[in-house]
Amino acid sequence: MPATTQITLNAPLDMHLHLRDGEMLHNIAKASAKTFSGAVIMPNLVPPVSSKEEVVAYKARIMEAVGDEKFIPYMTLFFKPGYNRSFLESVKDEISAIKLYPAGITTNSEGGVSGFDIEELRPALEAMSDLGIPLCIHGETNGFVMDREAEFVSIYEKLATAFPNLKIIMEHITTKESVAALDRFENLYATITVHHLMITLDDVAGGMLQPHLFCKPIAKRPEDREALLKVALTAHPKVMFGSDSAPHPRHAKESCGCAAGVFTAPIALQLLAELFVSNNAPLENLQAFVSDNARHIYGLTPLKKEVILERTPFNIPSEYNGVVPMHASETINYTIKEVRYG
């Protein structure tokens, strides 16, 4: 039996996940919890998660939604420049990272950072650096949609230089410029989604317009996708899988003014298996991309969970509890056969 007919992943981690809240949280949390050992949970609720009490309460709501599944939500705070050292010390044990949004750049980011004045940010970022709290950043300017991420690279560089011991994670990178920045600064890391490894703007808007493939950052050019694929398939040690899976109800996607976000949580591992196998990438690279690199970068010891994928056609459902997944109703080549707890 060829090795690729069955693939075992140890403790897969989704290092960038939107679980939302309320009814949506209950509708979609298990989709991640079933097959991932844990996930870094984005804090852009309304209002954003920005106090210890909010983190603790949100984590409890997630655990309730997850039910019997074994799953660790790695919690984050929504970055505010006013966070001081004593607050960060007090909240440190409840969180795995802090997420910075430039103001108004994506869903529920209105309260984010405007301008990137190093001196204004210094107290909070130095304290994070000292306390070993990673800074996750949605790196886009408010420039032209195809240029926003490349324009933001100079801000990543400014921050990486000013805070050399702060772990800065460039979230859901989509461009060759961000990939290139990885190797120029020791303290820059990145997450990459599965959809940005698969699609370009052509898939979103080159034929009919595909709202279910519309996300922020928007999918870019073929040469950008190639650069992302290269570091993912070779398991560049500073690169981690983060799905940025973002559920919206169908009506919010198929309407005049479609919300940004691709829902991949229930199919991410199957798609990644197919992607690595079809590109002849070693399966140990897949293991590193979906788990090992993240363990090293974040210093995590995940829950023991083995996910066994099999090369068997899988028909992606048209909806998961009202949310349309990427490639809805299409057939992919890998299916999840079994999940084993250790």
- Cα 42 to Cα 63: distance, rounded to the nearest angstrom: 15
Q: Which of 63, 162, 259, 281 binds a copy of itself (CB under 8 A)?
A: 259
Q: Are strands 168-170 and 188-192 parallel, antiparallel or unpaired?
A: parallel
Instruction: State yes or no: 99 annotated in a binding site.
Output: yes
The correct pick among 59, 99, 212, 327 for binding a copy of itself (CB under 8 A) is: 212
Q: Are 208 and 258 in contact (CB under 8 A)?
A: no
Which of 14, 93, 130, 244 is flagged as catalytic? 244
- Residue 244 catalytic? yes
Tally of CA atoms within 13 A in the half-sphere of 191 that contains its CB: 33
3 binds a copy of itself (CB under 8 A): no
Q: How far is CA 216 from the centre of its chain?
A: 12
The residue type found at 71 is F
296 annotated to a ligand binding site: no
- Per rule CB under 8 A, is residue 267 in the interface with a copy of itself? no
Radius of gyration of the chain (CA): 19
Contact status: 210 vs a copy of itself (CB under 8 A): yes
Site string for a copy of itself, 133-152 (x = CB under 8 A): -----------xxx------
Q: Is the backbone peptide bond immediately before 47 cis, with ω within 30 degrees of 0?
A: yes
The residue (of 204 and 277) whose beta carbon lies closer to a copy of itself is 204
Shortest spacing between CB 315 and a copy of itself, in angstroms: 17
- Ligand-binding site membership of 248 (annotated): yes
Q: Which of 257, 280, 313, 331 binds a copy of itself (CB under 8 A)?
A: 257
Q: Is 258 in the site for a copy of itself (CB under 8 A)?
A: yes
- Which CB sits closer to a copy of itself, 94 or 203? 203
| Cβ contact 77:133 at 8 Å | no
Q: Which of 155, 205, 303, 332 binds a copy of itself (CB under 8 A)?
A: 205
Distances (CA, A) of 48 to 2, 32, 111: 48, 21, 8
Cβ–Cβ < 8 Å for 54, 62: no
> Is 44 labeled as ligand-binding?
yes
* Given 1, 208, 280, 331, the residue binding a copy of itself (CB under 8 A): 208
- Which of the ranges 35-43, 118-126, 178-186, 206-214 carries the binding residues for a copy of itself, by CB under 8 A? 206-214
Stretch in the footprint of a copy of itself (CB under 8 A) among 21-29, 54-62, 197-205, 299-307? 197-205
**Orientation of helix 148-162 relative to helix 118-131, angle to 10°:** 70
Given a contact cutoff of 8 angstroms between Cβ atoms, the answer to whether 13 and 294 are in contact is yes
Per-position x/- string for 321-340, each x denoting binding to a copy of itself as judged by CB under 8 A, each - no binding: ---x---x------------
Q: Which residues contact 161 (CB under 8 A, 6 or more apart)?
A: 185
Nearer to a copy of itself, 67 or 222 (CB): 222
CA 260 – CA 244 distance, rounded (Å): 11
Length of the chain measured in residues: 342
Report the distance separating Cα 181 and Cα 230, nearest Å: 14
Residues that bind a copy of itself (CB under 8 A): 144-146, 200-202, 204-206, 208-212, 214, 218, 221-222, 253-260, 324, 328
Q: Which residues are annotated as a binding site?
A: 16, 18-20, 44, 99, 138, 172, 244, 248, 260
**Catalytic positions:** 244
